[in-house]
Amino acid sequence: MSIDVNNESGTEVDEQAILDIARYALARMRIHPLSELSVIVVDTDAMEQLHIQWMDLPGPTDVMSFPMDELRPPAKDDEEPPQGLLGDIVLCPEVAKKQGEEAPTQHSMDEELQLLTVHGVLHLLGYDHEEPDEKAEMFGLQAAIVDGWRGERGLTGASPAPTVS
């Protein structure tokens, strides 16, 4: 799996954890190991510009996903996953820090960025949360991936609550 993490935000983030959880999420979703993903970490001004340009919404947001080849997980266990370019995930640590502090289960900015990375991966794979059934599926999968990743690393405590982007 080729995953690039590029921190342009000026804020120190745990880039290795972002890389690791993205790799874990893609493996868990059975995405071809030669697929490519880019994660870009930006400041609030850059995120606000992207949010306005692509969503026509004011202010910065926490995560945005820009799919390329519209890869999807294989439908069957014996089906070969397609290879391709997943696309870009853009994260904003300042928004993540605020969300982590305000969440019912307060957590760090880096924990929120890990959750948002999984959220972004799922969006790249075609998951959404516009409808209640879609939201339940996506957030359930998001929690399972984050919990699995945390469990493999022996991290204790509650996982961050699902983020709505």
Question: Is there a contact between 128 and 134 (Cβ–Cβ < 8 Å)?
Answer: yes
Spatial separation of the C-alpha atoms in residues 144 and 147, rounded to whole Å:
5
Q: Cβ–Cβ contacts within 10 Å for residue 131, how many?
A: 9
119 is in an annotated binding site: yes
Question: Is there a contact between 71 and 84 (Cβ–Cβ < 8 Å)?
Answer: yes
Q: Which residues pair with 88 in a beta bridge?
A: 38, 66
Q: Which residues contact 83 (CB under 8 A, 6 or more apart)?
A: 32, 34, 35
107 is in an annotated binding site: no
51 is in an annotated binding site: no
Q: Which residues pair with 5 in a beta bridge?
A: 39
Question: Is there a contact between 91 and 41 (Cβ–Cβ < 8 Å)?
Answer: yes
Q: Which residues are annotated as a binding site for Zn(2+)?
A: 119, 123, 129
Q: Which residues are annotated as a binding site?
A: 119, 123, 129
